[in-house]
């Protein structure tokens, strides 16, 4: 794909698109690369899937402080702050 950004550059841009705004021409070149490259389209889908689903799915199973642990911490803090 002569003249178009490489897969390496496209994946980096996909991960940093909100931080590194590029020129309109560059953005167009990346869209064209994605249109032509199935692997990078899959990577883009993976990023989108992660963004949509991962935090919600992980939150349900994520470890949390138990009420006993919270109370222990509260008591220790009160003791130290006296």
Q: State the residues that interact with other proteins by CB under 8 A.
A: 5-9, 11-12, 15-16, 18-20, 38-40, 42-43, 46-47, 49-51, 53-55, 57-59, 61-65, 69-70, 72-74, 76-77, 80-81
42: three-class secondary structure by DSSP:
helix
**Is 25 or 80 the residue whose CB approaches other proteins more closely?**
80
- Nearest distance, CB of residue 23 and other proteins, angstroms: 18
- Nearest distance, CB of residue 9 and other proteins, angstroms: 6
Distance (Å, whole) CA 7 – CA 67: 48
Query: Measuring CA to CA, how many Å separate 42 from each of 23, 37, 45, 55?
Result: 24, 9, 5, 20
Distance (Å, whole) CA 55 – CA 45: 16
- Nearest distance, CB of residue 3 and other proteins, angstroms: 13
């Amino acid at each position: 794909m002569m003249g178009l950004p490489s897969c390496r550059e496209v994946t980096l841009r996909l991960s940093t698109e909100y931080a590194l705004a590029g020129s309109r021409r560059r953005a167009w070149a990346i869209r064209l690369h994605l249109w032509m490259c199935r692997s990078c389209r899959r990577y883009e889908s993976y990023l989108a899937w992660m963004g949509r689903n991962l935090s919600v799915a992980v939150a349900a199973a994520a470890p949390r402080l138990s009420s006993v642990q919270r109370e222990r911490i509260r008591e220790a803090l009160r003791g130290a702050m006296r």
